[in-house]
Amino acid sequence: MFSIFRKTRQLEQNIDAFLDLILKSALAFRVALKAYLSGDRTTFEEKVQEIDSLEAQADGLRREVENTIYAEMILPESRGDVLALLENSDDVLNQIADTIVEFRTENPAFPLDLHGHLLELVDASMEAVEQMVLAVQAYFRDLLAVRNLITKIIFYEKETDRLGERIKRSLFQRDDLTLAEKMHLRTFVQYLQQIADQAEDLGDRISIYVIKRMV
């Protein structure tokens, strides 16, 4: 399949490395939340630091890619779309990093019987991110694969909606939490949903960029 990369292998490698960092962050986020809910603070703190490091590396790579595209006049016909994809992908990583820091800072205490549902929500949200990364990669190499990957992003985003609403309903039906506690926990459910929302938004952008490349 035609590749958007025609002038430099290094640019391709840097974009791949940038996207790999997002995937690693999603995996680390999964481990971090499982550790958090199980009370394993050591592993949780390790993963918080890992995600922080991955975010910093991704910021550096994104800037390097942007500088290369501008300085060497690479991808002139689709430069704006490529830069937007990278920036929006970075926004998703930033949301992951911000969310895990909020867990560490505010230390929300979810009832034990909701832990399983919360982990399902985490998994669905991170799956949306992972399918987003695959869709971005496909944009550069295989346009025909993009549509199926976007369908998967949408599926997992809808799953986060379904799971998130179930958790929130359960929270507000409880008698063992104050209203303030319920609202606090609801906020963290929304953080997890927002990650998938951002992944879906990027999927929508990719759909438009694909059409532009194919006309």
> Residue by residue, what is the 3-state secondary structure of the chain?
CCCCCCCCHHHHHHHHHHHHHHHHHHHHHHHHHHHHHHCCHHHHHHHHHHHHHHHHHHHHHHHHHHHHHHHCCCCCCCHHHHHHHHHHHHHHHHHHHHHHHHHHHHCCCCCHHHHHHHHHHHHHHHHHHHHHHHHHHHHHHCHHHHHHHHHHHHHHHHHHHHHHHHHHHHHHCCCCCCHHHHHHHHHHHHHHHHHHHHHHHHHHHHHHHHHHHHC
pLDDT at 73: 62
Confidence of residue 47 (pLDDT cuts 50, 70, 90): very high
31-40, 139-148, 149-158, range with the lowest pLDDT? 139-148
pLDDT in tens, 57-92: 999 999 999 888 877 666 666 778 888 999 999 999
Domains and CATH numbers, the chain: 9-214 (1.20.58.220)
